[in-house]
Amino acid sequence: MKNRIIIILLFVFISSQLHADEGLWLPIFLNKYNIEDMQKKGFNLTAEDIYDVNKASMKDAVMIFGGGCTGELISNKGLLMTNHHCGFGQIQRHSSMEHDYLTDGFWAMNQEEELPNPGLTVTFLVYMEDVTTKILEGVTDKMTEKQRQTKIKANISKTIASVNKKHNEKYLVEVESFFQNNQYFVFVSQVFKDVRLVGAPPSAIGKFGGDTDNWMWPRHTGDFSLFRIYADANNEPAVYSPKNKPFKPKKFFPISLKGVQKGDFTLVFGYPGSTEEYIPSYAVELTTEVINPAKIQIRDAKLKVINKAMNDDRATRIKYASKQAGIANGWKKWQGENKGLKRLQAIKKKQELEKNFQLWAESDPNNEKYKNILPDYKKVYEISGDYELAYNYFLECCYFLETYKIATIVSKNYLEIDESSSNKQIDATRSTVIKATTNFYKNFDLEVDKNIFKNVIKLYYNGLDKKFHPKEYSQAKFSHGGDFDKYVDFIYENSIFLNQEKLNDFIDNYPAPKRSFFDKLFKKKEESKYSRKTIVNDPLYRLYTSYLEAYFYNILPVIEETEPMIDSLNRNYMAGLMEMQKDKIFYPDANFTLRVSYGIVDTYFPKDGVKYKYFTTLDGIIEKDNPEIYDYKVPTKLKELYNKTDYGQYADKDGSMHVCFIANNHTSGGNSGSPVINADGHLIGVNFDRCWEGTMSDIMFDPDQCRNITLDIRYALFIIDKLGGAGYLIDEMELVK
């Protein structure tokens, strides 16, 4: 009887843990779970207005932009908006000393001036469908995890083939898992491949505040860029062609000039990347106490080198701007995440839930399969912890380094050919490698890379047990007296991969083309100074392959052994939680599939004695102006517009130019660029960040601290029109005044 009372109280306690503003909801289920609550908060539309497969809905105006962001359509001519940091790579690739679009911005004044971006795609969801029954067909509890996954993979392939056949191979078809592999959905999408850069503000606007302001509030960043989708004559996806026409969408967002007030309803619609809301305390402890601190330290070492080089030289700034932003983003996010989880006492809260779960599992004989989950979690994390750390060191100190990218590009191609290869094979390889190395060296600085290498090789050596060290480290020990700086200098002086002249000479002369019959008859054979040994004995290649050997033989086997165990435990723990808390509405973790989150515009208190307003204005940009710091050097024209208060129709009713606002929507990485929509379905902003105090929302959501940061759409329009002089783009849009 006592146990049953505990369980009843437990249900009350746990059910109260899901707050109304928490959740990354699948739009297909809004009618079932959310629409009533959304309408209570002020939403004036229906679930079908958000997601419908039979008529145009908001989902038809939202897309995956590139490989990790969201974008939204804002005109009937295929014009889309996303974040500046999402389009940053494309802006950087079009930039040069002569055309520094990063510093100066870019505005196409007509469609002919829009810039193509080979490889950039946008992806629209056509529909999603629950296929759990099909995917789990033939799967039994008696199967091992390996047998289970083999069967599931076969069922996924069969399902994808069936859907592809149904649509005549017209769409991208993918199956994704939810609730730790307890549920499966098929996603059918349309991919467009001709996407052109239309406009981007100067980085002093689009990246205003740089790393200092990243993840912070108050925020004054004009984080947006504009692109246009092109299609063929039938409005279907096509690769780039001058003959393509602007895409005509089913739906695009009208834009509200009304602005927002505290308490206003907000909806974020996009593709959040990854969350881990249901992981056990052991995983949280490993992340916060071991993995995050190591990754922060490594990236800090990289950033010190890059930041100094970028501050010292304009050309280096252009080369490394995109790389620096990518490194810094995670570096700062993990710091905020650790801080937030510690403040929330996340590990302790997870342990309390686990204690209650164990009580529940042991209280009923029908729960037999759940009794050993937590003890088994403990055992497997005790084994896997060191190997997960080593895996992350391998990624940060080896796999992500540019030096290894160039070594991989060249060696992968040239080790597949030799003197016996046909001239056709040799020419094809040469062409591939020349293209890749040319692109690589365009954004590469040898000294910057060498100094990064020196920092991280020592961190890898000191941060891990010797059993994870590459054997090639013995070269540093025996040939260079244990001095890693001297060892790195030796590598950079002698590797052909790190000397563009030597590398080009190798590419041009190895393998030598086959000689004709007459050459063989009358000319003496000239021996090439290069061979396969040139690659195999190269000091950088030797170290790289030594890292790979350490990874594949010392790290990966244990990870491959423990990962299925953890996957199995995660699946059963998730099922147990849902069975224990039958009255709770669960939302699935983010996995870069289309989601809805909703909430209200709100203030917050990050710490004692501090209260933040819900919006910022252009006043704050002018206050931060510092011509000596790149990230705070306000463009002269923006200051002129401010001094004249020349805000046009984009000013708030209080007369000021609003820049950003915050709300309590649940967001994650991948929501960058997501449309932020008001109660009437109008675009009011573009989501671009979270407050630092709330970055732990990927693991544990706190409604008091978690705030998504949104660019006020009126500021973006003001920049396009008044600063960029591209008012013709405003004419394409539907403005709601």
- The residues carrying an active-site annotation are 85, 223, 672
C-alpha of 687 from chain center: 14
Torsion of CA 30, 36, 37, 40, to 10 degrees: 140
Give me the DSSP letters along 556-613: HHHHHHHHHHHHHHHHHHHHHHHHHTTTS---PPP-SS-EEEEEEB--EEEETTEEE-
- What the block records as the tokens of 581 is 């808390």
Do residues 598 and 681 touch, judged by C-beta distance below 8 A? no
Half-sphere exposure of 123 (CA within 13 A, CB side): 22
Give the DSSP per-residue string, 444-476: --HHHHHHHHHHHHHHHHHHS-GGGS-TTHHHH
Rg of the chain's alpha carbons, rounded to an integer? Answer: 28
> 417 CB contacts (<8 Å, ≥6 apart)?
425, 426, 429, 511
Alpha-carbon gap, residue 487 to 387, rounded angstroms: 26
Q: Across-strand partners of 610? A: 607
DSSP 8-state code for residue 280: -
On whether the CB atoms of residues 164 and 188 are closer than 8 A, the answer is no
**Cα(135)–Cα(668) distance, rounded to whole angstroms?**
28
Residue 107 bridge partners (DSSP): 199
Tokens of 608: 């004692």
Contact at 8 Å (CB) between 323 and 302?
no
**Cis peptide before 511, with omega less than 30 degrees from 0?**
yes
Which spans in 167-291 are helix H?
Answer: 203-206, 210-213, 281-286
CA dihedral over 643, 647, 653, 659, signed as positive or negative:
negative
* Dist. CA 127–CA 52, nearest whole Å: 8
Identify the CA nearest to 120 among candidates 230, 202, 206, 201: 230
The contacts of residue 717 (CB under 8 Å, 6+ apart) are 255, 257, 650, 730, 733
CB 696 within 8 A of CB 346: yes
Residue 167, classed as helix, strand or coil, is coil
Confirm if 540 and 498 have CB atoms less than 8 A apart: yes
| Encoded amino acid at 382, one letter | E
CA nearest 707: which of 614, 618, 616?
Answer: 614
For the chain, give the longest Cα–Cα distance. Answer: 102
Neighbouring residues of 264: CB distance < 8 A, sequence distance ≥ 6: 42, 600, 601, 678, 679
Give me the helices (H) in 599-663, please: 618-624, 636-643
Alpha helices per DSSP H over 313-401: 314-344, 346-363, 373-394
Chain centroid to CA 356: how far? 35
CB 186 within 8 A of CB 173: yes
The answer to whether the CB of 202 falls within 8 A of the CB of 105 is yes
